[in-house]
Structure formats: structure tokens, C-alpha cells
């Protein structure tokens, strides 16, 4: 009798085990590629996103993070996410297929962290423009991991950096295709030169160029700390990596799980927006400690620089975005 009484329990346990196995077998795994290095704040953000998704889906979805471009160069990964060969990425957007994506570095689209956060969140002007542009390519944006506000680094001293009408006998490197910042810098009184990234360090070291623009203070510390004499915090653009997911892969998930992914990305993005101002300030302090002359501007000066860029520079670079996209941006700024 005792033996017979145990048999139903064995059957129940067997069924439960089978159900548990089936549940595990049905779990979705999404691969997420990022350029961020192991141990970096960026990798920590990607891992937190993965943790939030796993917790909130109760294990139905596992996000596997591949740091340090393990799945390939970021431009290649961008194509792979479009094609569905890679599920997700946290990285810059590639602009080769759609000029509207130049909005992500368009000079003075915003000048401070608050306006950047508003514009780069769902419902914000830049987020809407990006969503419209990349959705046609099979990509869905979920959020933005902020790197910080952009500026310019120089191997020499810079006189009157706050005066947009000053004439500087300095040549600043812009990246190939960097028309937006070429026009901006020339309006601010600099000469410009195009130089590949791989040649930039040597170029600044030997005087081929006197400075560079297009990144954050932290990025300058990582690559040019020993040859940077002056850093000007222009707040010319906001550097960020986008959480993107293949649209078909995303649409195949239950709506509740889609929302979990979106909410998790937004939570990580919002947390970073709270941290990024302090991260920039820390990088500037590190520069000062290293003997670099750091130039920052008050809000009134930044607003003046932005007004001049929008009035004099934007008409010359409107083609980089297209007039319709530029008009959307202007409308968001009340212009």
C-alpha cells in the first residue's frame, strides 16, 4: 500500500519536471553586441539591461551580452542586426544608408543634458526622427546610453574660445564625411582638415592638425591624454549609443515582453542620464589634474553659441539631414 501510494507522487514529479524542462527549452535568447569593453560602465549598463529583462520575464528571455565588438566591427554588426543575424546591439547608428541619422551628432540640436534627455527619449524629437529612419531598415530603437557632451581637444593653447567671431590660426581634424562640424568649426574661426581616425594621434603629435572634435572629454582622455593641452567643452553634440533590436525578432515576442524590453532599456537610459553629467564633470577634473587647460561655458554662452550655429551653420548643412528632418528639429526647438 505504501508503495502504491508513492506512485502518483512519482508521476506528478515526472510531469512537473517535464513542464519545467519544456519551460526552459522555450526560453528566448537574444544576443546583444556592444563596443563597450569588459569592466566599463557601458558594459555594466548592457548587463543591467539583460538582468532586468531576465527578472521581469521570469526567465522567458535571456539577453546574452557580447562586449568589445566580439561579434564584429560595429558597422558590420549594424547590418547584421538589420538582417536578423544579430538580435540586438548597443552602439552608434550607421548613417551610410540614411542621412537623417546625422541628427545624432547634428551640432547644437541641444546644448545641455536636460534637453538631450527629453529629445532622445520616446516621444522626443530626435528619438522620433531616428525611429522613423531606422524602422524602414528593420530596426527598432529602445533607448540611448549616453556617453556625454561633445567638445574639442587641442595640442596647443586656444585664445578667445568663447568668441565665435575670433580667428584662430589652428587646424582642427574632422572625420571623413564630417561636413556638419567642418562648417561649424569654420564659422567659429578655425581651419579644418579631414584625417582618418587611425592617423589622428600622429597628426596631432606632429602638427599636421592642431586639434580634434567629435567626441567627449572621456574619449579624449582615453586616446589623446598625453598630447592634449587644451579642452574646450563646446557641448556641440551629445554622444550616445543606441539600444536597437531587429524589428522582426522584436515583433515575434509577446506584446508584454516587448514592453519589458522597452521599459528595461528606458530604465537603463534614464539612469545613465542621471549619471552622465557627473561622469563628464569627473573627466574634466581628471583633465585638470593632468595639467590640461579645461574651458567650460556658462548657459548664456552656450545658448549664444547654439543660436549662432543654428542661424549661420544650419542653412549650410541642411542637406546633411534633408529639409523635412531639419524642419522637424526646428519645430521641436520652437524655431
Question: How much is the pLDDT for 26?
Answer: 67
Question: How much is the pLDDT for 176?
Answer: 84
Q: Would you give the DSSP letter of residue 292?
A: -
Mean pLDDT throughout 82-91?
97
Q: How far apart are CA 148 and CA 277, in angstroms?
A: 7
Contact 306, 108 (CB under 8 A): yes
Beta strands of 50-188 (E only): which ranges? 61-66, 88-91, 139-154, 171-174
Q: Is the pTM of this model over 0.95?
A: no
Q: How far apart are CA 232 and CA 66, in angstroms?
A: 34
pLDDT at 313 over 90: yes
Model pLDDT for residues 137-176, shown as the tens digit of each residue:
999 999 999 999 999 999 999 999 999 999 999 999 998 8
pLDDT at 258 over 70: yes
Amino acid at each position: 500500500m505504501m508503495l502504491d501510494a508513492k506512485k502518483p507522487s512519482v508521476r506528478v514529479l515526472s510531469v512537473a519536471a517535464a513542464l519545467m524542462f519544456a519551460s526552459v527549452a522555450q526560453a528566448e535568447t537574444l544576443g546583444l553586441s556592444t563596443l563597450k569593453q569588459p569592466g566599463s560602465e557601458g558594459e555594466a549598463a548592457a548587463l543591467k539591461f539583460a538582468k532586468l529583462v531576465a527578472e521581469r520575464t521570469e526567465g522567458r528571455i535571456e539577453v546574452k551580452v557580447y562586449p568589445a565588438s566580439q561579434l564584429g566591427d560595429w558597422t558590420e554588426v549594424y547590418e547584421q542586426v538589420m538582417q536578423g543575424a544579430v538580435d540586438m546591439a548597443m552602439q552608434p547608428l550607421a548613417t551610410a544608408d540614411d542621412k537623417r541619422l546625422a541628427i545624432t551628432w547634428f551640432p547644437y540640436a541641444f546644448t545641455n543634458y536636460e534637453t538631450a534627455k527629453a529629445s532622445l527619449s520616446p516621444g522626443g524629437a530626435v528619438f522620433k526622427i531616428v525611429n522613423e529612419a531606422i524602422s524602414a531598415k528593420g530596426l527598432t530603437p529602445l533607448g540611448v546610453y549616453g556617453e556625454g557632451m561633445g567638445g574639442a581637444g587641442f595640442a596647443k593653447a586656444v585664445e578667445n574660445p568663447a568668441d565665435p567671431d575670433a580667428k584662430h590660426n589652428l587646424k582642427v581634424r574632422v572625420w571623413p564625411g564630417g561636413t556638419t562640424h567642418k562648417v561649424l568649426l569654420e564659422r567659429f574661426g578655425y581651419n579644418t582638415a579631414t584625417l582618418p581616425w587611425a592617423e589622428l594621434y600622429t597628426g596631432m603629435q606632429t602638427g599636421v592638425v592642431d586639434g580634434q572634435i567629435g567626441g567627449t572629454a572621456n574619449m579624449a582622455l582615453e586616446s589623446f591624454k598625453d598630447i592634449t593641452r587644451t579642452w574646450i567643452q563646446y557641448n556641440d553634440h551629445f554622444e550616445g549609443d543606441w539600444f536597437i533590436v531587429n524589428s522582426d525578432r522584436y515583433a515575434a515576442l509577446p506584446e508584454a515582453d516587448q514592453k519589458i524590453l522597452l521599459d528595461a532599456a528606458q530604465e537603463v537610459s534614464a539612469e545613465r542620464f542621471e549619471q552622465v553629467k557627473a561622469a563628464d564633470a569627473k573627466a574634466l577634473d581628471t583633465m585638470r589634474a593632468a595639467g590640461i587647460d579645461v574651458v567650460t561655458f556658462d548657459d548664456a554662452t552656450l545658448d549664444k553659441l547654439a543660436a549662432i550655429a543654428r542661424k549661420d551653420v544650419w542653412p549650410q548643412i541642411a542637406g546633411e539631414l534633408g529639409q523635412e528632418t531639419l524642419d522637424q528639429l526646428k519645430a521641436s526647438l520652437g524655431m
